[in-house]
Structure 1
Amino acid sequence: MVLCANSFAQQPIVVEGMVPNVATKQDILNKLYVTYGQTNVIDKIQIRAVTAPNGWSTAVNHVISEDLKSIKQGKLSIKGMQVDLRGKVPKQEDIQITTNKVQSLLPVDYKLNAQLSVNTTEQQLIDATLKNRIVEFESGSAVLAPSGIQILDEMIVALQKVNANKIKIIGHTDSSGDANKNLSLSQERARAVKNYLISKTIPVEILTAEGLGSTKPVADNLTADGRKKNRRIEFEVL
């Protein structure tokens, strides 16, 4: 079975290959529908007299997850207990993170061959503009600090160079305090950044905003420096 997509975060998702029976096909399609929406999945699965390991459809369903959505130009191939994953991820550290996550979803006797690379060009331009800096806000709020506005003004110049690509603005917090409040704050901050960029003539149709709260730390939340690094805004070229 093979999943193909320009990006696992975008549509359509094409699924093709051979499975042994209708039940297996439907199990896989149902998981795809839940993950991507039924209208966004192109079904090319054929039913043939092939054999599959015990629990194969369950293993396939585990791998079809939200974690694939960070992969651009993605291709997931599952043949028996051999799993091949190809595509491009936003940053160098995402290669190991994504590989480890997919491996953890597979049974121990399945073999994963992950060939992931960094999505260069536009994403590199955006990352270089941030230069390991953090878009800062007033404490505990979604009001941009002057230093945050200065970074966003530089980001506007970079965004104007990536043509009509979609840009996702992602808000993150540290783990201090209530998780639900952190999630809401991260969403508000992402929207605040989006609104600022729109006010500076960045087209609204290329921007989306999402908040992930404290679920994706990049540093240790036990230290002040780590918490500061985790309170961040990321820009992802889709």
Structure 2
Amino acid sequence: MKFSLFVLVSCLACQTAVFAETAHVPAKPAEEPGKVVASGTVPDEAARAAILTRLRELYGAQNVVDRLEVGGVVPPPNWSENMAKILTPNLKQVHKGQLQVNGTQIAIKGQVGNEALRQQVVSTLATSLNPTYSIDNGLVAAGGEAQSLLDKTLSNRVVEFESGSATLTPAGRTILDEMAAVIRQIGNPKIQLIGHTDNLGNRQGNVMLSLARADTVRQYLAEKGVPADSLSAVGAGPDQPVAPNDTVEGRAKNRRIEFRLAGQ
């Protein structure tokens, strides 16, 4: 089970003090085999009780270790309510994991069974929170060394297209040149290219656009020497966001091409 919640609640006025006080005290799930460890600092007893209650509901009271400290920090608006939103059953899919919360910055690490779960866990977090929150996805699909290399090469960048079309921009082609080299390096495995869009406009139109963009990527990679029969194109449209769609930045993150190894 091994999972840890490391909570840092901060504001501009107290962030330095919080880090100085807690950043050197990492959660230590290895000391509690099979336990869920909650550590860090929360604003008050009510927040501490709410977090522990939710964790005990998810994992069982006997499996939760309380190392939370109280006081000395000021939370963002509605912070406790947002913590309840992110502590969902999806987290039980994460093994040897850590969920770190620093104000409105959320980072999640650990292993999940496959790439679909990796996307699902982060998508659930993103859609449950308001746009002021950002999520750093450090999840890795089990047995996915090749998948990890693809993800590292893409490095949270977005393959760009001209607005409203499936025509690659020069920046998009540059990223795909790097991806083609890595795909050849890992032996040209079967890869699903999944196109995603934001939620602006007609859903069916977005699904068609996402498929057209994924197919453009497939054709471009084939021209760069990746066997065409090892690539398939899928259009997911706006249905799997990784960020809120109500900001320009969030929509830009959602307009993406996902590289998923077959079977992951």
TM band (smaller chain): 0.5 to 0.7
Counterpart in the other structure of 2:55: none
Equivalent of 1:142 in 156, 161, 166: 166
Equivalent of 1:130 in 139, 149, 154: 154
2:91 counterpart of 1:88: no
Counterpart in the other structure of 2:206: 182
Q: Deviations over 1:57-112 (max 9, x none)?
A: xxxxxxxxxxxxxxxxxxxxxxxxxxxxxx83127744746999xxxxxxxxxxxx
Q: How far apart, CA to CA, are the structure 1 residues paired with 2:247 and 2:149?
A: 30
CA contact (8 A) 2:195 2:234 kept: yes
2:145 counterpart of 1:121: yes
**Partner secondary structure for residue 192 of structure 2:** strand
Q: How far apart, CA to CA, are the structure 2 residues paired with 1:201 and 1:88?
A: 30
Equivalent of 1:152 in 171, 176, 196: 176
Inter-CA distance 205–186: structure 2 relative to 1 (3 Å threshold): same
Percent identity between matched residues is 44
TM-score (norm 2): 0.48
Q: Which amino acid aligns with 2:157?
A: R
**Partner secondary structure for residue 168 of structure 1:** strand
**Partner secondary structure for residue 205 of structure 1:** helix
Unaligned runs of 5+ in 1: 1-86, 101-115
Q: How far apart, CA to CA, are the structure 1 residues paired with 2:119 and 2:261?
A: 14
Q: How far apart, CA to CA, are the structure 2 residues paired with 1:237 and 1:127?
A: 11
Alignment of 1:1-238 (within 5 A): 88-90=113-115, 93-94=118-119, 96=121, 118-238=142-262
Q: Deviations over 1:181-228 (max 9, x none)?
A: 100000000000000011111101110000000000000001110000
Kindly state the Cα deviation for residue 167 of structure 1 after the two structures are TM-superposed: 0.4
CA contact (8 A) 1:95 1:118 kept: no
CA contact (8 A) 2:191 2:232 kept: yes
Q: Which amino acid aligns with 1:173?
A: T
Inter-CA distance 205–126: structure 2 relative to 1 (3 Å threshold): same
Q: Which amino acid aligns with 2:200?
A: S
Q: Which amino acid aligns with 1:146?
A: P
CA contact (8 A) 1:95 1:117 kept: no
**Partner secondary structure for residue 193 of structure 2:** strand
TM-score (norm 1): 0.54
Unaligned runs of 5+ in 2: 1-111, 126-139
Q: How far apart, CA to CA, are the structure 1 residues paired with 2:113 and 2:142?
A: 5
RMSD: 2.7
**Partner secondary structure for residue 222 of structure 2:** helix
Kindly state the Cα deviation for residue 161 of structure 1 after the two structures are TM-superposed: 1.7
**Structure 1: which 4+ aligned runs deviate by more than 4 Å?**
97-100
CA contact (8 A) 1:92 1:118 kept: no
Q: How far apart, CA to CA, are the structure 1 residues paired with 2:148 and 2:220?
A: 22
For this pair of structures, how many residues does the alignment match?
A: 139
